[in-house]
C-alpha cells in the first residue's frame, strides 16, 4: 500500500501542528537503555526441549516498514545470527498510518500473536503530529504490550524523509523521534535511528533522494560515491536505502546485546502521561446499532471485505443517503476505522447532539481503496457520549479533488457511488448499551 505520509494524518482530523518549542533530542544512532533481554535470551538458547525454538518478531509501522526492506532484512539478520532458531514475522505495517492508529490496532494485529520482540516505526508518519499526542499514543502501545505480555521486548526505530535530514545531520532528532525518546527513556526501551548515516551522507552531497536505481555499468560509474537512496525521497530502494537502515541495526546490535541482562518480566511504572492511550480499543462496527437491512459484508462475496478481512473482520457499507450508525461510549476519545476510496461519500458526524460535522471520505489519493480513520472526538470528558454517523446525499467534484495531485478518474464508473465503509470503532474507554 502506498504511503500518504504526514499529509494523510491531517485528513483524519486528529493531528495538530507540531509544537515549535518542543525540545529536540541530541542525535545518537543507538540508545541501548535496558536492551532486549528476553528476545536475546530466547534467541541465544538455540534449542528448547529438543525442538527448534520459534521466536516471533512483530513489526508495527507505516509503508516504509511494509516494504520488503528493513523488515525482511532484519529478520534475515536474526536468522543468520542465531541459526538454531526459527524466526517468524508478524507484519503489522499499514501505509499512511501513524501511532494514532497503531495504538488501537496493536492488540489485534500484533499482541494477539504473542511476539517476543516488537519493533515500532512511526517517526515519519507522525511527523506532523503534536508531541503530546505522539507521547500518549506511543506510551499506550508500550503499556498495552507489557500489560498483555510482560515477556515481550520493545524497540523503537526511526526512519526519515529528505526534509528531516538537515536537522539530523546538524545533531538533533526530528520532533517526532524526540517525542518518542521521552517514552523510551521512561520505560528503558532501546531505540535505533536508521537515518543518522543517511543524513550525514546527504549533508556531504552523497545522497540522491529521488532517482531510479542505475541499470547499467555506465550509470553506476556515473554515480561515483553517491548513493541512490529512494525513488521518491521517502520510501527507500530495497537494495540501497533499506540496506542502510539494516546496517544501522547491525551496528547497534553489539551495544544492545551488552546491556541486555537476564530474561525478565517487564513491569509497568507510573505512566509518563496521565492521558495516555493504554485503554485504546478497536471494537467491531458490528457492536454498534446498524441501519435496518445493513449487516457486515461477506468476505467470500465482497472483494473489499475480503481484502481487509485481516484488519477489519467486520466491514459494513452504507449506500443509501440517510442511513446512519449509532452507538454510545464512555471514554475520552473516539474515531472510526474505515476504508476510503473511489466510491467514498460524505458523512455527517454528530457527537452528543451538537451540530453535525461533515467529513468527506474521499481525497486526492483515492484512486484506490485504503484504510483510514475518521475523527469523532478527542480529549473528551470521561463520561457517556452518543455518536451518530449518517451518510449524506451531497454530490461533490471528485475529479477536481484528484486533480490536486494531478490524478484522474481512469474509469468514471468506479467513482460514481458515494458510500461509507466503516469496520471498527477506535475508542479510549468502553462501548456502552
DSSP codes joined into one string, 81-141: HSTTEEEEEEEEE-TT--HHHHHHHHHHHTGGG--SEEEEE-TTTTTTS-HHHHHHHHHHH
pLDDT one-digit tens code per residue, 294-338: 999 999 999 999 999 999 999 999 999 999 999 999 999 999 999
Per-residue pLDDT at 8 exceeds 50: no
Which own/partner contact pairs does 142-146 have at CB distance under 8 Å and 24+ positions apart?
142/183, 142/187, 142/189, 143/268, 143/271, 143/276, 143/278, 144/103, 144/106, 144/107, 144/111, 144/278, 144/280, 145/106, 145/110, 145/111, 145/118, 146/266, 146/267, 146/268
User: What is the C-alpha separation between 252 and 392, in angstroms, rounded?
Assistant: 53
| Residue 278: Cβ within 10 Å count | 19
Q: What is the CATH number of the domain that holds 316?
A: 2.60.120.260
User: 201 and 303: one domain?
Assistant: no
| Coil vs helix vs strand at 255 | helix
User: 249 and 333: one domain?
Assistant: no
* C-alpha cell read off for 229: 537512496
User: 252 and 284: one domain?
Assistant: no
CB–CB of 38/151 below 8 Å? yes
Query: pLDDT band for position 5 (50/70/90)?
Result: very low
User: 102 and 224: one domain?
Assistant: yes
CB–CB of 381/328 below 8 Å? no
> End of a domain among 225, 259, 293?
259
User: What is the C-alpha separation between 428 and 380, in angstroms, rounded?
Assistant: 10
When pLDDT is averaged across residues 6-26 and rounded to a whole number, the result is 54
* C-alpha cell read off for 103: 495504538
Per-residue pLDDT at 433 exceeds 50: yes
Per-residue pLDDT at 276 exceeds 60: yes
Range of the domain at 420: 280-432
User: What is the C-alpha separation between 40 and 56, in angstroms, rounded?
Assistant: 12
Strand segments (E) across 222-319 = 227-228, 280-284
User: 300 and 156: one domain?
Assistant: no
Which residues 6+ apart lie within 8 Å of 49 measured at CB? none
Q: What percent of the chain has pLDDT over 70?
A: 94
User: 380 and 242: one domain?
Assistant: no
User: 335 and 251: one domain?
Assistant: no
Residue 218's H or E segment, with its range, is helix 217-223
pLDDT one-digit tens code per residue, 147-204: 999 999 999 999 999 999 999 999 999 999 999 999 999 999 999 999 999 999 999 9
When pLDDT is averaged across residues 261-272 and rounded to a whole number, the result is 97
Q: How many structural domains is the chain composed of?
A: 2
pLDDT one-digit tens code per residue, 405-431: 999 999 999 999 999 999 999 999 999
Strand segments (E) across 127-234 = 153-158, 191-193, 207-208, 227-228
- DSSP letter assigned to residue 188: T
CB–CB of 30/255 below 8 Å? yes
| Residue 72: Cβ within 10 Å count | 16
How confident is the model at residue 53, as a pLDDT? 85
Mean pLDDT of the chain: 94
How confident is the model at residue 21, as a pLDDT? 79
User: What is the C-alpha separation between 112 and 44, in angstroms, rounded?
Assistant: 24
pLDDT one-digit tens code per residue, 42-91: 998 754 445 678 999 999 999 999 999 999 999 999 999 999 899 999 99
pLDDT one-digit tens code per residue, 356-370: 999 999 999 999 999
Amino acid at each position: 500500500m502506498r504511503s500518504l505520509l504526514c499529509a494523510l494524518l491531517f485528513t483524519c482530523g486528529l493531528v495538530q501542528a507540531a509544537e515549535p518549542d518542543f525540545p529536540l533530542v541530541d542525535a545518537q544512532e543507538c540508545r541501548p537503555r535496558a536492551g532486549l533481554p528476553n528476545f536475546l535470551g530466547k534467541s541465544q538458547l538455540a534449542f528448547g526441549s529438543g525442538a527448534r525454538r520459534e521466536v516471533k518478531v512483530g513489526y508495527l509501522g507505516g509503508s516504509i516498514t511494509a516494504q520488503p526492506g528493513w523488515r525482511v532484512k532484519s529478520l534475515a539478520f536474526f536468522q543468520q545470527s542465531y541459526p538454531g532458531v526459527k524466526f517468524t514475522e508478524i507484519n503489522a505495517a499499514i501505509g499512511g498510518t501513524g501511532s494514532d492508529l497503531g495504538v488501537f490496532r496493536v492488540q489485534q494485529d500484533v499482541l494477539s500473536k504473542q511476539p517476543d520482540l516488537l519493533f515500532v516505526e512511526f517517526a515519519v508518519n507522525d511527523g506532523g503530529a503534536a508531541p503530546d499526542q505522539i507521547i500518549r499514543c506511543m506510551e499506550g502501545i508500550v503499556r498495552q504490550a507489557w500489560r498483555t505480555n510482560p515477556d515481550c521486548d520493545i524497540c523503537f526505530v526511526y526512519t526519515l524523509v529528505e526534509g528531516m535530514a538537515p536537522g539530523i545531520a546538524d545533531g538533533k532528532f526530528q520532533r517526532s523521534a524526540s517525542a518518542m525518546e521521552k517514552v523510551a527513556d521512561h520505560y528503558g526501551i532501546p531505540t535505533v535511528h536508521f537515518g543518522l548515516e543517511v543524513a550525514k551522507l546527504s549533508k556531504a552531497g552523497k545522497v540522491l533522494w529521488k532517482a531510479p536505481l542505475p541499470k547499467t555499468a555506465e550509470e553506476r560509474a556515473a554515480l561515483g560515491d553517491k548513493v541512490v537512496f529512494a525513488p521518491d525521497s521517502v520510501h527507500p530502494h530495497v537494495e540501497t536505502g533499506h540496506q542502510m537502515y539494516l546496517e544501522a541495526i547491525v551496528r547497534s546490535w553489539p551495544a544492545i546485546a551488552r546491556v541486555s541482562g537476564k530474561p525478565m518480566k517487564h513491569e509497568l511504572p507510573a505512566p509518563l502521561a496521565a492521558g495516555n492511550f493504554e485503554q485504546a480499543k478497536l471494537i467491531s462496527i458490528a457492536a454498534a446499532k446498524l441501519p435496518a437491512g445493513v449487516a457486515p459484508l461477506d468476505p467470500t462475496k465482497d472483494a473489499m471485505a475480503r481484502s481487509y478481512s485481516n484488519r477489519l473482520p467486520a466491514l459494513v457499507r452504507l449506500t443509501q443517503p440517510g442511513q446512519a450508525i449509532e452507538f454510545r461510549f464512555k471514554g475520552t476519545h473516539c474515531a472510526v476505522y474505515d476504508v476510503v476510496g473511489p466510491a467514498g461519500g460524505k458523512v455527517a458526524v454528530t457527537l452528543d447532539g451538537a451540530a453535525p460535522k461533515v467529513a468527506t471520505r474521499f481525497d486526492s489519493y483515492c484512486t484506490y481503496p485504503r484504510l483510514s480513520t475518521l475523527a469523532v472526538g478527542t480529549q473528551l470528558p470521561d463520561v457517556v457520549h452518543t455518536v451518530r454517523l449518517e451518510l449524506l446525499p451531497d454530490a461533490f467534484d471528485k475529479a477536481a479533488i484528484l486533480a490536486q495531485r494531478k490524478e484522474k478518474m481512469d474509469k468514471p464508473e468506479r467513482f460514481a457511488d458515494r458510500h461509507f465503509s466503516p469496520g471498527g470503532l477506535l475508542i479510549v474507554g468502553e462501548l456502552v448499551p
